[in-house]
Amino acid sequence: MSEAAKTGAATVRVALPFHLRNLARVEGDVALDVSAPVTIRAVLDALEARYPMLRGTIREYETGQRRAFLRFFACEEDWSLESPDKPLPDIVASGKEPLLILGAIAGG
Amino acid sequence: MSGVRVLVGTHKGAFVLNSDGKRKDWTVSGPFFAGWEIYHMKGSPVDPDRIYASQTSGWFGQLIQRSDDGGKTWHQPGLADEAIPAPGPPTALPNRFVYDASPETGRPLTTHQWYDGTQHPWEFKRVWHIEPSLTDAETVYAGVEDAALFSSTDGGENWRELSGLRGHGTGPKWQPGAGGLGLHTILLDPTDPKRIYIAISAAGAFRTNDGGVTWKPINKGLRSQYIPDPNAEVGHCVHHVAMHRSRPDVLFMQKHWDVMRTDDAGENWREVSGNLPTDFGFAIDVHAHEPETLYVVPIKSDSEHYPLDGKLRVYRSRTGGNEWEPLAKGLPEKDCYVNVLRDAMAVDTLDDCGIYFGTTGGQVYASADAGDSWAPIVRDLPAVLSVEVQTLN
């Protein structure tokens, strides 16, 4: 477990895709105070608490499952299929690097 | 001074068109929700500045948007305040559409028929149609895919399923149309708030007389060649149904093929396609002041979703069906291969009734003389999914 994930709250940065930035009415990354351990679930909980208009857009309402065409990246690694309760890398948990939420490139 | 507001949902955003009562000059606002599919928008008859919109995306799911100022600004119901929300459970979940499987009021989710005839679980995908109450600005209905009817009594902040429809017994025989298993038509009886008609592709039409607790399939007289029993109780691909406010027992239907009519609230249907050059199509509507005058846009076939011979024509019947006349003045006479989708036609209620329809080519055509002549009031929008009209006083 990373150091930031072990102790206290951290300010985590999240990079949202274009349409979700518009919904949340934000520009650039959003900064969230997230209690340790800093996991994808904890980050999304904090994101949806601060920006309730995003509820249901990243993960399904009832199941909490990631929506099929969205992916999570941390430190240039695909975390989409990792457990949502796995602590994020320290560099993300400490806010030095953002957690990326990306829309899959699909269509044509 | 009266005016008209046209609400246009498109494949890539929403647009609001405004004109005065002359309906000659139009302003276009939008796109709102740019890049999102807007399946439908509709205003409250009680409070015309209250407009609901269904915003949907294959990536981000379903959102409900609401305007309280006639389409100038929008917010998700219950989430208008941009301040940091108070801690605790949210009181508004405007995008939560969950099938009711509760022991008290719900029905087992069971399955419906899939394209290949096998059974398939019910899965919520999107809201196809929004129908605000005729009497209460806070009450609104939503028809969804996979087919079910939801309602909200707090302006769209929270939704609950009227599960008697999905659970009344024929659900396993319902099959998606080419566009999905969508509940696309909701007609509220102005004389009886407990009576509602709905229609589903491809299940058919249904009616409740008790505010949505129990439902009855109303498809007797429909014949559909593509299903094993052409006279089946359900399984018919109803594309759209229209009603005149003054005669809620009379319904007009554009089925996959066939234009149909009932005079007894759906108990019996008869075909009124008459002399239409093709009776395939999607849109149908009724003149605001003449209950026997109706409009359809014939489409060549279910394999070729565009007008016959490249000529875009509305057909009008002044006799409640059977006898139809083409309306072509102002519409493309050649090389037109657009479609007009089921929810993309509407009428205003000005003295000289206005008729409006949108195309998959991005044009919205309007007639200020009940269909005698037409002109595009906007063109080159994204593909039009829905058109609704508000007559403003």
Residue A87 DSSP symbol = B
Among A33-37, A92-96, A102-106, B79-83, the minimum mean pLDDT is found in B79-83
Burial class of residue A84, CB neighbours in 10 A (0-12, 13-18, 19+)? middle
Architecture of the domain defined by A3-103: Roll (3.10)
Residue B68 CA, distance from chain mean position: 21
Dist. CA B167–CA B112, nearest whole Å: 11
> B173 and chain A: CB distance < 8 Å anywhere?
no
Question: Is A61 within 8 Å of B85 when comparing Cβ atoms?
Answer: no
Number of domains comprising chain B: 1
The answer to whether position B226 is within a domain reads yes
For the stretch B150-180, pLDDT in tens is 999 999 999 999 999 988 788 888 989 888 9
As a whole-number percent, the residues of chain B with pLDDT over 70 amount to 99
For the stretch B220-275, pLDDT in tens is 999 988 777 878 899 999 999 999 999 999 999 999 999 999 999 999 999 999 99
Residues 6+ apart with CB under 8 A from B303: none
Q: Which two tokens stand for residue B160?
A: 């609950």
> B82 and chain A: CB distance < 8 Å anywhere?
yes
Dist. CA B381–CA B10, nearest whole Å: 8
The answer to whether position B347 is within a domain reads no
Question: Is A20 within 8 Å of B60 when comparing Cβ atoms?
Answer: yes
The answer to whether position B357 is within a domain reads no
Which residue range(s) make up the domain with B258? 43-80+91-340
Dist. CA B123–CA B393, nearest whole Å: 42
The answer to whether position B374 is within a domain reads no
- Do B365 and B330 form a contact (C-beta atoms < 8 A)? yes
For B104, B116, B131, B339, the CA distances from B125, given in Å and listed in that order, are 25, 19, 18, 23
The answer to whether position B1 is within a domain reads no
pTM of the model: 0.95
Q: Which residue reads 């589903």 in tokens?
A: B200
User: Taking CB atoms and an 8 Å cut-off, how many pairs form between chains A and B?
Assistant: 55
Which residues in B lie closer than 8 A to residue A103 (C-beta atoms)? 59-60
- Torsion sign (Cα): B108, B114, B118, B123: negative
Kindly state the average pLDDT of the residues A18-22. 96
Chain B closest CA to A90's CA: distance in Å? 27
> Which of A55, A61, A69 is closest, CB to CB, to B59?
A69
What is the residue extent of each domain of chain A?
3-103
Q: Which two tokens stand for residue B52?
A: 């609901």
Chain A closest CA to B102's CA: distance in Å? 14
CATH of the domain at B156: 2.130.10.10
> B76 and chain A: CB distance < 8 Å anywhere?
yes
- Torsion sign (Cα): B128, B131, B137, B138: negative
